[in-house]
Structure 1
Amino acid sequence: MLIDFGPLWANEYVRAALQMSGWDPDRRVDPSATIDRLVAEGFTCNPYAVEILQRFHGIKIDREEPKVPGAKYGRSRIAFLPYGDPIDLLELVNNVGESIGASIFPIADADDGLGLILVGDDGQIYDSRQGQLHRDGATFTEALIRMITRYDYPDFLGGSLPPWWITKGLAKPKPIQRKE
């Protein structure tokens, strides 16, 4: 097992969001049809993507509930159903992968298809939406906790429009750090 999912259950807000979505720590599904379709379209799968999709494929995490006191920004709806137009997705994923120097694979849609959540071949989690690229966490667990609680901002890696928290001076872009 590459990923420790235990910390997800330890945070009360993350646990509540996951329970509301139907996820539990023992959940296992077969995502091979989706993975095979994406690989056939030209994506390069990695072991992290397989493990995440075996545990989360089909799960949709609500945008509004549960409410998280102290959240710094609004939560996106996350759907572990990477079903967008494969040609558009492939171009986006290749561009993002080139910009971060990693092979990445789509694991989820965000904001009802306006964004894409990706996992690198080193296990780091990224999202691309509205012309911006962010690193959400060094691990899937760290990223999902961040996406649900929103206690801190994702690392802005670049894009056409700076996010509002940078323009307001609340955060600064961070350099990409690849795990060894």
Structure 2
Amino acid sequence: MNQVDAEAERILARAGWEPGRQVDISAWRSRLEEDGFVMHHAAERFLREFGDLVVPYGGPGISRAREALEFDPLLAIGEGDRFAEWSETVGKSICPIGELDQGRFFLGIDEDGMIYLMSDSLARFGAGDAGIASLVLGVMPVPLAELQVLRADSTAELELSGTRPELRALGRFLRAGRGRRGLLENREPSPYSRSLSELQFQETPGSVIRILVDGSSLKIFGGRAALDLLADDIEDFASNADASDHLHVEYFPGHHYLVSGSDSLVIAIAAPAS
């Protein structure tokens, strides 16, 4: 390790790191390969130096808390599909290197040494020593891509867009029955009027769902079975549609899960962020 912020180096040293540290990664490589992962050169180099380090919670950081982290790639066993989806999004192979905040987030590294924070969304800390320092010192990672909802006020037209992994994650959120998440705000939404800032969803009694705009929020609420049907449609679209296709979620008499009065929603596949 070289040229790392001195404070980050002290934190890692307390966890057991030292210059020239080398650990045996052969068991990790074998187990990861059994689970379908590829341990590329950047992952090998990182894990030889930092593998098995455990850094406890460290209080406030620079722009986020210094959450506990553990550099053990086997913590991501069983998450191959998630890593494959995000690898597809960035166009690079992301190998697991551990977890942050006691399993709330996974950590990964691509062939270029870029370090990622991974859950149902993707963010990056940076590459090389700078990325390690940002992770250890509590720097907020940069979101790589986010869901976006645009609205044309004159026609009430709504478009929700996201990458394929993000749309599949949206399906999982809907199945959870309740939650909220921020949306990427577009300051130049033309030809739409504005972008919304929040998505909310909640399970309520009944057999149908309603989609509506409330201020700057898009709200989706309704019965469990109906939310699952919408999730099915979104996940199928994200997995199988062509990039230029659109999924129209709009009411018509006899609709199998939308109630009359719901706002119409068009769902599109966004290109991965660079």
TM-score computed with the length of structure 1 as normaliser: 0.77
* Structure 1 residues 140 and 162: alpha-carbon distance in aligned structure 2, compared to 1, 3 A threshold: farther
- Show the counterpart of 1:162: 182
Task: Give the 3 Å change call, closer, same or farther, for CA 105–74 of structure 1 in structure 2.
Answer: same
* Cα 1:44/1:85, change in 2 over 3 Å: closer
User: 1:145 and 1:102 mapped to 2: Cα distance?
Assistant: 22
3-state SS, counterpart of residue 64 of structure 1: coil
Aligned match of 2:231: none
Higher relative contact order (CA 8 A, sep 6+): 1
Cα deviation digits, residues 84-134 of structure 1 (max 9, x gap): 3622x10110111111111110011111122111111222111113x2210
- Alignment partner of 2:134 out of 117, 138, 146: 146
CA contact (8 A) 2:95 2:109 kept: yes
Relative to total residues, which structure has the larger strand share, 1 or 2?
Answer: 2
The counterpart of 1:136, out of the listed 113, 119, 125, is 125
Deviation at residue 28 of structure 1 after TM alignment: 0.8
Taking the aligned partners of 2:273 and 2:65, their CA distance within structure 1 comes to 24
Q: Find 2:32's aligned residue among 35, 38, 48.
A: 38
In the TM superposition, 1:7-156 aligns within 5 A as 7-8=3-4, 11-64=5-58, 71-84=62-75, 86-87=77-78, 89-129=79-119, 131-137=120-126, 139-150=127-138, 152-156=139-143
CA distance in structure 2 between the partners assigned to 1:16 and 1:125 by the alignment = 20
Name the SS for the 1:7 alignment partner.
Answer: coil
Partner AA of 2:113 in structure 1: G
Matches of 2:36 and 2:142, distance apart in 1? 28
Q: What is the DSSP-based 3-state SS (H/G/I as helix, E as strand, rest coil) of the residue aligned with 1:51?
A: helix
Any idea what the Cα deviations from partners look like across 1:12-65, whole Å, max 9, x if unmatched? Answer: 321221121011112111011012100121111210000001111100122216
Give, as a single letter, the amino acid of the residue that structure 2 aligns with 1:7: Q
* Corresponding letter in the other structure for 1:72: S
Larger Rg: 2
Runs of 4+ with >4 A deviation: none
Distance 1:17 1:155 in 2: 22
**Aligned-residue offset at 1:135:** 1.2
Aligned-pair identity in percent equals 24
Alpha-carbon distance in structure 1 between the residues aligned to 2:273 and 2:115: 12
Name the aligned partner's letter for residue 6 of structure 1.
Answer: N
The amino acid of 1:60's aligned partner reads V
Report the count of equivalent residues: 156
